[in-house]
Structure formats: structure tokens, C-alpha cells
Chains A and B, each alone.
Chain A
Amino acid sequence: MTLEEKKQEIIEEFALYDEWLDKYQYLIELGHNLDPFPEEEKTEENTIKGCQSRVWLISEKKDGKLLFRADSDAIITKGIISLLVSVYSGRTPEEIAADDFGFIGAIGLRENLSPTRANGLVSMIERMKEIAGQSRQ
């Protein structure tokens, strides 16, 4: 699936839920199903500090593509992380750097990302872009 197709798939999935709580329920499920994150990688360096929830992110480059793994101590944030990982992991740095991450808004989660909420997600997206930018050079 291309990046665009994957994003479209998630947007359509979320369109099924018009109740906020159903949306959260789904994110909680995604959070629980996210691949386990190695405990030893929960270092200061890999921590993206938000005001409330903590987020961890690691990446590696394989065959020209960036692979991400991430975790959070809060489950809804973890669900959103799981979406980000499923969309962006396995893409080229160019693709990631060029993307505007606007699909988060399209599924109605923009308010979870607004900087005033001060959670780790905004910083996580910035970190993903930064990693993409660096590995492009």
C-alpha cells in the first residue's frame, strides 16, 4: 500500500465512528495491540517528553526505508502512536519529510495534537520528521 492509500484506509476506518467514545475505544484497542517496545530502549535519549504522557521512539534505516517503533505510558496516546507507526514505518525518508501529517486532523484527532494539550504526540511527529530529514542527507 502506498502512503496515500494507507492514510485513506485509516480515514475510512475512523469514519465508521461518529461517537467520540467509540473512537477512543478503537484507539485503546490499537494501543493494546501495538508491538511491544523493548524496555531497555526506554532511555532518556529515546524519550519524547510531553507534559503528561511520555512517549518513546526509536528508528532504524533498512533498504533505504525508515522503520519506527514507539510506545507511551498512556493508552490513547499509544493508540495514536500505533496509527503513526502503521502509516509511516517502512516509508522512505523523502516520503515522510514531504508529508504534512494532516490525516490526523482528518480522523478528528487534531485536538489531541494541538500544542496546548502539551502531550508527547506533537513532539513525536516533529521527531519523526527530524529523523527523516537527517537520514535523507
Chain B
Amino acid sequence: MKLTQIRAQFPVLDSQVYGKPLVYLDNAATAQRPLSVEASWKQSVEQGNANIHRAVHYLAGVATDAYENAREAVRAYLNASAKEEIVFTAGATAGINLVAYAFGEAFVGEGDEIIVSVAEHHSNLVPWQLLCRRKKAVLKVLDIAPDGSLPVESLEKLISERTKIIAISHISNVLGLVNPVREMVEVCHKHNVPVLVDGAQGIVHCAVDVQALDCDFYAFSGHKIYAATGTGVLYGKKKWLEAMPPFLSGGEMIHTVRFSGTTFAPLPQKFEAGTQNINAVPTLVPALAFARECRENPEVEAEQEAILDYVYKQLTEDERITLYGVPRGTKVPLFSFAVKGVHHEDLALILDKMGIAVRSGQMCAEPLMDRLGVTGLLRASFAPYNTLEEAQYFIQCLNKAINMLV
């Protein structure tokens, strides 16, 4: 596919806001959905809607197949070794909560320790805080280096005999750097500590192979990788998922229910209680196909590289601007920055009126904002359907906005 064909998959990119062409640079919050995803949704709603796994009728079979095909597509995308290791959730937050609860129930007790980084999204922080409160466990925090990177050496120093799990983002939604997850997993496994990777951003920018990463859990949301909202995936190694008690309970996750006691369904149904997101989950198939197509498309890749180069250069060479997350080698086209003497909200308001959608504020990472000593930042995050031309327009408008404000 040519880049123009890729853009044609997203009609909104052709629209105008306040009489200006829309430039959507808030992809880290949620990506747009391609027509192929819409078609899958439509197909499911119009022709394939029935509750899955339960009934013997024809339509139930169609819906169940679509749902289970999606599981296979996710398994293949992540290169997981078995479908049982793929649990559908409502998103990254839901997946992380599942682990914080169920792993916590099974393995975390008073005085035990959990490690997170200071750069985590609240979704990969608060569930662990709550677990620590429930179990009287201790939350330890891995600091970032001044350039925003995560130093593997300091991780090893934080690990103790009481460490039960570490939870770390693949890519922070603020810093936009690919963290050395493989190395971190190695260090943790040396001490028999499992690793949960918050892949909400990582899945979008990296080819993820969970066997090569060797992480124990990997959680992401469908909506950030072009699928319907309300979809999500938790990959978990079978040995952990089997050892964990159910999180939510109810229909579909049981084997037998008696008042004398209930036994649970095998994986992955054990963690999929209640009616699942049957119309939306199949959209993961075209969404992941689209993501793969973009990753393997030389034109898109070249454009993304050009955007990264250009925006990085503009933001780092401008003395008024401080970019957070600087190592160029691990940078993805997600830029959070502050402008001296200018409030991020003002910039976002003005850019909005120029047609540019960017994010401003704390971006669900208050501890990181405190650590960086800012009240918030401005973030521009690019997707494969964005163009270098849009990046140039963004920088031009940013300059104009700054000049209005200083």
C-alpha cells in the first residue's frame, strides 16, 4: 500500500476543524480506526452477532469462530507459544488490574516488594499501590536517568529477596523511549522475579515477540493499535496464569457450579468472565494486519523515520524547548516537551485552533511530572498515517503559537 492509500483508510484525516485541515497528533491517546476495522465491526454486528461459546446454533458458531480467530491472530502477532496464553480484556488497564489482583492473591504477602518505574502511567501504578495496601507489601520505585532512559543497573540494585514482581512500560506514554525490556527481564529472571510489561505504547511502535522478550506478562489496549475501543489483550505465561486465581467471576469462566463449590474453566476462559466484547474483539484481526502492513511498508517506514528525524531536530535545537526522553537511538515519534515561560494548555488551545490535535497536561503520569519538576507537558504523537508535511506544519504552528505567547 502507498501512504496515500493508507491515509485513504482514515476518512477523518481528510476533514477540517475550524476551517483548517485536521492534523491528528494525539495518537498515543487513541489511534484512528481504518475502514477495515469498521468493516469488521459492521460484519459482526450485521451478520455475525450471537453470544459466543454457549449456544449450539449456527450464528453462535460464526461469532465464536470470529472471536477465537482473533485470539489466534493475536497469538501469532505476539508469537506466543499457545492460545491459552492470550486473555482478552477491556484494555491495558484491565489487564494490569487482573494481574495485580490475581497474581497478588497468589504470590504477594506482607512485607513483600513490587517494583515499578517512576515513569509509569497511572494504570501501571495505582493497581500495584492498591495491591500493596491490601497485602501490606512495599512499592519500590525505579528512577529514570536524566535523559529519560531506564538504567538496568539500578534495577538490579532494587531487587531483593522479597521482590515478587516488577511492572514496567515497554514505552512510556510521556518519554517515548523503547525501554531495555529484554535486558530487564534477564536481570529479573536471574533473581526469579517475573516481569509485567505495560505494552500500551510498545505494541504500537515495536515488533513484539513475547518469547524473545521472555516477559511473563504483556498487556495492551486495542484502541491504540487501530482496533475498536473496549478491546485489550493480556499475554501471560501459562505457568503463571494457571497458578493465579480468577479475577472476575460469573458466567463462562466456570467449569461446574455447585453450592458445595465451583470449579473453573481452563485457560483462557478462566479469566474471561461474563459476556465478552464479541463485536469488537474480531476487529483486532484487521487492526493487527494493518499495524503489520505499516511496519513492513518501506514507504511508511521512511516517512516515519523522516518525521522522527525532523521533529527531533527541531525540538532539540530550539533553546526555548525542553524535550523529555532524549536518547535518539531508542526514540519513537512521540514527543513530550515544555516551552520556557509558556503554559502547555495555552499552546494546546492555540494549536487546536490551527487544526492540530495534541495532548497537554499530566498525561496520567503525575509522579513522572513531579520527578521532572513540571506541572504538565505538551505531547505530539505520530502514527503511520501522519506525513512529514504534517510534521512540518506542526512545527511551523508551534513556533507561531510560542511567538503569540512570549
Q: Assuming the A-B contacts A51-B361, A52-B376, A73-B375, are A25 and B345 also in contact, with contact meaning beta carbons closer than 8 angstroms in the complex? A: no
Q: Mark B281-305, 1 if CB is under 8 A from A, else 0.
A: 0000000000000000000000000
Q: How far is the CA of A54 from the CA of B4 in the complex (A)?
A: 42
Q: Which residues of B contact A52 (CB under 8 A)?
A: 343-345, 348, 360-362, 376
Query: Is A97's beta carbon under 8 Å from chain B?
Result: no
Q: Mark A75-88, 1 if CB is under 8 A from B, else 0.
A: 11100000000000
Q: How far is the CA of A54 from the CA of B375 in the complex (A)?
A: 9
Q: Mark A31-66, 1 if CB is under 8 A from B, else 0.
A: 000000000000000000001111000000000000
CB within 8 Å of A: which of B238-259?
none
Instruction: Determine whether the beta carbon of B375 is less than 8 Å from that of A24.
Output: no
Query: Is B346's beta carbon under 8 Å from chain A?
Result: yes
Q: Which residues of B contact A73 (CB under 8 A)?
A: 343, 375
A13 smallest CB distance to B (angstroms): 19
Q: How far is the CA of A75 from the CA of B165 in the complex (A)?
A: 44
Q: Assuming the A-B contacts A51-B361, A74-B346, A112-B349, are A25 and B404 also in contact, with contact meaning beta carbons closer than 8 angstroms in the complex? A: yes
Q: How far is the CA of A116 from the CA of B71 in the complex (A)?
A: 35
Q: Which residues of B contact A74 (CB under 8 A)?
A: 343, 345-346
Query: Is B350's beta carbon under 8 Å from chain A?
Result: yes
B82 smallest CB distance to A (angstroms): 43
Q: How far is the CA of A73 from the CA of B350 in the complex (A)?
A: 16
Query: Is A28's beta carbon under 8 Å from chain B?
Result: yes
CB within 8 Å of B: which of A1-43?
20-21, 24-25, 28
Q: How far is the CA of A52 from the CA of B369 in the complex (A)?
A: 12
Q: How far is the CA of A54 from the CA of B344 in the complex (A)?
A: 12
Count A-side interface residues using an 8 Å CB cutoff: 16
Q: Which residues of A contact B361 (CB under 8 A)?
A: 51-52
A123 smallest CB distance to B (angstroms): 14
Instruction: Determine whether the beta carbon of B350 is less than 8 Å from that of A77.
Output: no
Instruction: Determine whether the beta carbon of A21 is less than 8 Å from that of B360.
Output: no
Q: Mark B338-354, 1 if CB is under 8 A from A, else 0.
A: 00000111101110011
Query: Is A119's beta carbon under 8 Å from chain B?
Result: yes
Q: How far is the CA of A75 from the CA of B362 in the complex (A)?
A: 18
Query: Is B58's beta carbon under 8 Å from chain A?
Result: no
Q: Which residues of A contact B344 (CB under 8 A)?
A: 52
Instruction: Determine whether the beta carbon of B345 is less than 8 Å from that of A24.
Output: no
Q: Please, could you name 10 A-B residue pairs with CB atoms under 8 Å apart, sorted by A?
A: A20-B18, A21-B354, A24-B404, A52-B344, A52-B345, A52-B362, A52-B376, A74-B346, A112-B349, A119-B345
9 extra interface residue pairs, beta carbon distance < 8 Å, beyond A21-B404, A75-B405? A24-B349, A24-B353, A25-B404, A51-B361, A73-B375, A75-B343, A76-B350, A77-B345, A77-B346
